[in-house]
Structure 1
Amino acid sequence: MIRTLEGIVRPYAWGSRTAIASLRGLPVPSPHPEAELWFGAHPAGPAACVAPIGAAGVDLLHAIDADPVGALGISTVASFGERLPFLLKILAADEPLSLQAHPSPEQARDGFERENRAGLPIDSPVRNYRDPWHKPELIVALTEFDALAGFREPTETVDLLRALQVPDLDPYLGMLAGQPDSEGLRALFTTWLTLPEAILASLVPAVLAGAVDLLAAGGRWGPELQTVCELGEAYPLDPGVLASLLLNRVRLQPGEGLYLPAGNLHAYLRGSGVEIMANSDNVLRGGLTPKHIDVGELLRVLDFTPVPTTELTPAIRTVGAERIYLTAAPEFRLSRVELDGTGLRHASSISFDMPGPQILAVLNGSVEIRAGVGEPMAIRAGQAGWLGDDDPDVVVRATSSRAVLFRALVPQRPAT
């Protein structure tokens, strides 16, 4: 059954008081920060079904549970079980998120079983693995979007550390200059993450002072220096401030994407975007947070191989009005669709006939979804449409002069 979904707002402290409220047509600023708007079937916040008549009062999780094969399809159930394997979000960050990484499928299964054997409750604050799934993710910018993602080429990081001209950094600079590869990055990152607070109390301020001086002098490292200064102000004694110097500083323009596979150390800094991820809660934190940090487990998960940002940028395939972001994730595929209700510049409608579950989140304007000769389902900005595997092919038509939606689905592969 095609359904209209109302997303669930997650009020994390780093969120925006304007972006999500504005998208949903509500007064701004909102009473509290709104960080994420979830469209999915995650147990912690399943989207509410608000239409058609008879579906209201049911959330998407229970709708899928009532008929998993009909909702998800045989192929999805065979690959991922009776659960929607992705979670689609609108993310709006006014402050930096924590420095973090996600495990591979094997690491997630092993870690989940290990913590189960140890008797750790699922909701324990010191638990690393809350489920046996990995968590690749893709963010597509809606506004200018800043992030840290992946370890920078070590020789460039050596240049940055030298340019800071901070004598307290010399021993650490020597570690990377003497071994400018993944092992040197591992050694330096591990050292910084395990420094005693007494050393951090002098090292971090010295680095920040050097960053301020170098920023004033101008040059190539402006975004990196601005970021380390902002993080140092928010987290004065956090080793994640130092770790940020090792990572690529990324700025996405609207429509650009960033794909983060297992082991990639990253932190979203500021901006709004559409995020899709495997449906998992597994996060290993590395700093910029008061939450639990398991250094040993983080080091086991991290991939210290330097990666240029071009390798984290998904290729895009355009099919008519649809721009498809191509990644290796088996759980999801995300695309952007722009329709023109006037029919003057772009197509006013598009047909979707791919099997499996789909969520269509409307970000601008409004659309109607029509299946066969039935009554169309109206979806406005800030809402989403749910298409189950057993739903017929649909036509999505713009009912405003400009309509933008994001389409999330499970790539179909042969069942094993």
Structure 2
Amino acid sequence: MNRLTNTIRPYAWGSTTAIPELLGTPPTGEPQAEMWMGAHPGAPSRIDRGQGPVALDTVIDADPAAELGEAAVKRFGPRLPFLFKVLAAGAPLSVQVHPDLAQAASGYADEEARGIPLDAPNRNYKDANHKPEMIVALSPFDGLCGFRHPAEAADLIDALGVPALTPYVDILRAQPEDQALREVLSAVLGAEPDAMAETVRAATEAATRLAQTPGSAHAAAYAAYAKAAHSFPGDRGVIAAMLLNYVRLQPGEALYLGAGIPHAYLDGLGVEIMANSDNVLRCGLTPKHIDVPELMRIVRFEAGDPGVLRPEAGPDGEELYPAPIDEFRLSRYLLAPGADPRTLPAGTPQILLCTSGQVRLRTLGPARTPAADGTELTLAQGESAYIPAGEHTELTGQGTLFRATVTV
């Protein structure tokens, strides 16, 4: 096992205080949006096995079978197939969707054939992989996930009293669900920019008022939309966001975001895990490129409940957050003082993150290589560790530990 040294990404939407509070470090005054744990080449974690810090992707490249396990290499190839993060949103992220595996592969091949540079602002597909993801709240966490039922969206938008939105309300009430959502989103994204900006300003004023009106239906949702609008004045994504379910997660609750599901994170601290991909198609709350035709091809126009997840009890104290994919598997352990040690399953690569208290790790079986930290390691709040496949590890202590691995 090895302690991880991780990179913090300073995206503009990041909180200035949440990650420093988790890590017990002083704020810098700058946004700290994400702490990356894993082997993503954009910001790989580093480990020290006695010869100085080395990037985790370099370590894995040197001996994939030993680090990941032969089954994981056969299933996913010679790389860690997930990226684990601490995410701290102080302002809304863009409303976005991710492609499925076939869409990503075809989109990437098409853009490669057309010679679009990977760093071009109009590039949609950075790789050929899909990007399912899961967020687990560490604090109360606001987000948008999936489409509201059109009738509910119509009532919410109609209550704003903005005449320019009436045609959208009429469509939402008159058309079949999938057709109504498709038509309204297409109309919003295709609207004349200046006129839409004025509509958004009027909607923002109304949403702000309704959020502060005692007894107002959807007051929390209006407050979230108004906050997003203040971060992105006049952005058409504000109206697109009103088509989506607003959800507030309590600590320990989670959302799974599959392919084609529009979503946005608005505010709060959480742990996020995703398949190792950078493929994002945006539809608002962003100054970045929006490819409307490709977006409309990828979005799944299905209304329903956002599907808040809670962990399911498993063996030896493990609590699993179920997800219908194999590239990542996320669980947690709630460790009480004086409780019997817990033994982690072995055979796959693991990243462990302590989010409260203090957790002690001990290697039970022979380590692949002598770790710089020896066969025992203590993780304080905000600290993380990497365990290669084949190492058996025991947990003791008091606190909360998240375990990220794969299913093979």
Same fold (TM over 0.5): yes
1:314 deviation in Å? 5.7
- 1:325 corresponds, among 295, 318, 321, to 321
- Distance in 1, matches of 2:322 and 2:310, equals 6
Pair 394,22 (structure 1): closer, same or farther in 2 beyond 3 Å: same
Q: Is the 8 A contact 2:137 2:254 kept in 1?
A: yes
1:269 maps onto 2:266 in alignment: yes
- 1:41 corresponds, among 34, 39, 42, to 39
Letter in 2 for 1:22: E
- Distance in 2, matches of 1:241 and 1:160, equals 13
Letter in 1 for 2:57: L
1:135 maps onto 2:131 in alignment: yes
- Distance in 1, matches of 2:20 and 2:97, equals 29
- Distance in 2, matches of 1:151 and 1:127, equals 26
- Distance in 1, matches of 2:196 and 2:126, equals 31
Structure 2 portions without partners, runs of 5+ = 366-373
- 1:78 corresponds, among 74, 82, 87, to 74
What is the TM-score with the length of structure 1 in the denominator?
Answer: 0.92
- 2:162 corresponds, among 157, 166, 178, to 166
- Distance in 1, matches of 2:176 and 2:218, equals 19
What does residue 385 of structure 1 align with?
385
- Distance in 2, matches of 1:235 and 1:180, equals 31
- 1:372 corresponds, among 364, 368, 371, to 364
- Distance in 1, matches of 2:293 and 2:310, equals 31
1:78 deviation in Å? 1.4
1:308-353 residue CA offsets vs partner (Å, 9 max, x unmatched): 123x53662343432110110210110111212x31xxx2521013
Letter in 1 for 2:21: S
Greater shift in the superposed pair: 247-256 or 17-26: 17-26
What does residue 211 of structure 1 align with?
207
- Distance in 1, matches of 2:185 and 2:305, equals 18
- Distance in 2, matches of 1:295 and 1:140, equals 30
- Distance in 2, matches of 1:388 and 1:238, equals 45
- Distance in 2, matches of 1:330 and 1:20, equals 28
What does residue 192 of structure 2 align with?
196
1:383 deviation in Å? 2.0
Letter in 1 for 2:350: Q
1:179-203 residue CA offsets vs partner (Å, 9 max, x unmatched): 1401110000010011111211331
- Distance in 1, matches of 2:305 and 2:354, equals 32
- Distance in 2, matches of 1:177 and 1:5, equals 52
1:246-267 residue CA offsets vs partner (Å, 9 max, x unmatched): 0000000000010000001011
- Distance in 2, matches of 1:394 and 1:313, equals 27
What does residue 125 of structure 1 align with?
121
- 1:300 corresponds, among 297, 315, 331, to 297
Letter in 1 for 2:380: R
Structure 1 residue runs of 4 or more that deviate by more than 6 Å after TM superposition: none
Secondary structure of the structure 2 residue equivalent to 1:309: coil
Greater shift in the superposed pair: 99-108 or 231-240: 231-240
1:403 deviation in Å? 2.0
Greater shift in the superposed pair: 137-146 or 357-366: 357-366
Aligned length: 399
- Distance in 2, matches of 1:318 and 1:337, equals 10
1:122 deviation in Å? 1.5
Letter in 2 for 1:365: G
Structure 1 portions without partners, runs of 5+ = none
Secondary structure of the structure 1 residue equivalent to 2:4: strand
What does residue 399 of structure 2 align with?
403
Secondary structure of the structure 2 residue equivalent to 1:365: strand
1:21 maps onto 2:20 in alignment: yes
Q: Is the 8 A contact 1:317 1:326 kept in 2?
A: no
Q: Is the 8 A contact 1:168 1:206 kept in 2?
A: no
